[in-house]
Amino acid sequence: MKPSPRSFHVKSFGCQMNVYDGDRMAELLEAEGLEAVADADAADLVVLNTCHIREKAAEKVYSDIGRLVKREHGPAPMIAVAGCVAQAEGAEIPRRAKAVDIVVGPQAYHNLPALVREAAAGRKALDTDMPALSKFAALPARRRQGPGAFLTVQEGCDKFCTYCVVPYTRGAEISRPFAAIVDEARALVDAGAKEITLLGQNVNAWGEDGKGLDDLIRALDRIEGLARIRYTTSHPNDMTEGLIRAHAEVGKLMPYLHLPVQSGSDRVLKAMNRSHSAESYLRILERVRAARPDIAISGDFIVGFPGETEAEFEETLGIVEAVNYAQAFSFKYSPRPGTPAAEMAGQVPPAVMDERLQRLQALLNAQQFAFNQASVGRRCEVLIERTGRKPGQMLGKSPWLQSVHLETDAAIGDLVEVELLAAGPNSLAGAALVRKVA
């Protein structure tokens, strides 16, 4: 039996929504009187906030558990598995890894304190219920923040892309209430946030009584002390005219759009159940760029979807050429248990996927470098997020989400007017022009 924990460590994997959930679990445990520790090896309770999106991500949890059990100093900690692996595998987890005491799904983590008490009483504790939205109402108030904060506004997904586990691990699409979101945004700003990134698996599907994400963005634009608004991840089919217009009209909305296309082949897109074509995707970006010409476009790609031919893969390279991305994420297809694509004929051999991923990434990296180079000479505001490696050096983000390092006496959370001087593949060097506190 493991004693009642006095300290904890939350380790989050996967997407930004998991980072948000991890923060909220930490706030919850702190409200219960537990102390957060930075070193997982020193914590009485370790929460592994897991991701199920690809096989590698899902398997990571088991190697982590193995490491925690073999910890050098002191007894093994109480172990809680949270997040999407918890939802997908449930009671299977403590069967496979006996050291796990708690399994808690992404919609049930407000019950974590009760589960910890149950585990301290010597019982395996499991909660993977999906009550609609009750967790948000049950969570404690937001606490001190860094300059950049995440805010979940929409959860779950009804799109059922044939490769994807998210509709199963996060449940049906649900929008949080407008008023609750605006309240949380205010609380985050009061707690130190300068930039808020609205999160959802399909964030642009957020809606309430005819209001859309653009209305929410316009409401946040009026919050004093908030300097920047971002949102992610969007689905092409939910890119409304109102949201596109917001990019032209809302001052605090940053010129950056993450809009995954996955493939450039209409045959593959159909097999993925994406319900948009390569052409319709390009037309959306045309409208977005007409509204905000300097916007940075980012995307996600999957190579080696079942049945993908060399010619179809080349169509993906083609759409990348046509879009010209500022940033992108690309993955080898990973068959996920229970998804339709895992059963499809024509699974692509790993060596072919490797080779395609390399070609795609070479192109995407070159585009990112070119985007950074084209930024040299631009003047923009940089939000200072942390200290750099050298003394006097600070790191921050440009409006286009590029990392910028500069010498300045500005503090974390300051907005600094900067001239961008030099570009690397992953970051830029800038010079502070005037110090400006937002």
The answer to the question of residue 160 lying near ligand SF4 (CB under 6 A) is yes
Residue type for 149, please? A
Question: Of these partners, ligand SAH, ligand SF4, ligand F3S, none, which one is at the site of residue 169 (CB under 5 to 8 Å by kind)?
Answer: ligand F3S
Which residue is associated with the tokens 């074509």? 277
60-89 residues near ligand F3S, rule: CB under 6 A: 83-84
Q: Among 80, 102, 164, 223, which residue interacts with ligand SAH (rule: CB under 6 A)?
A: 164
Q: Look at phi and psi of residue 225 and say left if phi exceeds 0, alpha if psi is from -120 to 50, else beta.
A: left
- Nearest of 63, 57, 3 to residue 34 by alpha carbon: 3
Q: Are 395 and 409 in contact (CB under 8 A)?
A: no
The answer to the question of residue 298 lying near ligand SF4 (CB under 6 A) is no
Rounded distance, CA 368 to CA 327, Å?
5
Residue nearest to ligand F3S (CB): 14
The answer to the question of residue 380 lying near ligand F3S (CB under 6 A) is no
HSE of 390 in the Cβ direction (CA atoms, 13 Å)? 6
Helices (H), 48-82: 55-69
Kind of pairing, strands 45-50 and 78-82?
parallel
CA dihedral (87, 89, 91, 95) positive or negative: negative
The answer to the question of residue 260 lying near ligand F3S (CB under 6 A) is no
The answer to the question of residue 235 lying near ligand SF4 (CB under 6 A) is yes
- Residues belonging to the chain: 438
Rounded distance, CA 294 to CA 400, Å?
9
Q: How far is the CB of 334 from ligand SF4 (least distance, A)?
A: 13
Joined tokens for residue 293: 């010409």
Q: How far is the CB of 171 from ligand F3S (least distance, A)?
A: 10
Q: How far is the CB of 162 from ligand SF4 (least distance, A)?
A: 8
Using CA atoms in the order 341, 344, 347, 353, what is the torsion angle rounded to 10 degrees?
A: -30
The answer to the question of residue 262 lying near ligand SAH (CB under 6 A) is yes
Question: Of these partners, ligand SF4, ligand F3S, ligand SAH, none, which one is at the site of residue 353 (CB under 5 to 8 Å by kind)?
Answer: none
The answer to the question of residue 313 lying near ligand SAH (CB under 6 A) is no
User: Pattern 103-142, binding to ligand SF4, x per CB under 6 A?
Assistant: ----------------------------------------
Rounded distance, CA 11 to CA 19, Å?
9
Rounded distance, CA 192 to CA 204, Å?
26
Q: Among 11, 71, 143, 159, which residue interacts with ligand SF4 (rule: CB under 6 A)?
A: 159
The answer to the question of residue 304 lying near ligand F3S (CB under 6 A) is no
Q: Among 163, 231, 281, 371, which residue interacts with ligand SAH (rule: CB under 6 A)?
A: 163
Q: Are 75 and 40 in contact (CB under 8 A)?
A: no
Q: Among 25, 68, 166, 394, which residue interacts with ligand SF4 (rule: CB under 6 A)?
A: 166
Question: Of these partners, ligand F3S, ligand SAH, ligand SF4, none, which one is at the site of residue 333 (CB under 5 to 8 Å by kind)?
Answer: ligand SAH
Task: Please report, as ranges, the residues that interact with ligand F3S according to CB under 6 A.
Answer: 14-15, 17-18, 51-53, 83-84, 165-166, 169-170
Task: Please report, as ranges, the residues that interact with ligand SF4 according to CB under 6 A.
Answer: 157, 159-161, 164, 166-167, 201-202, 235
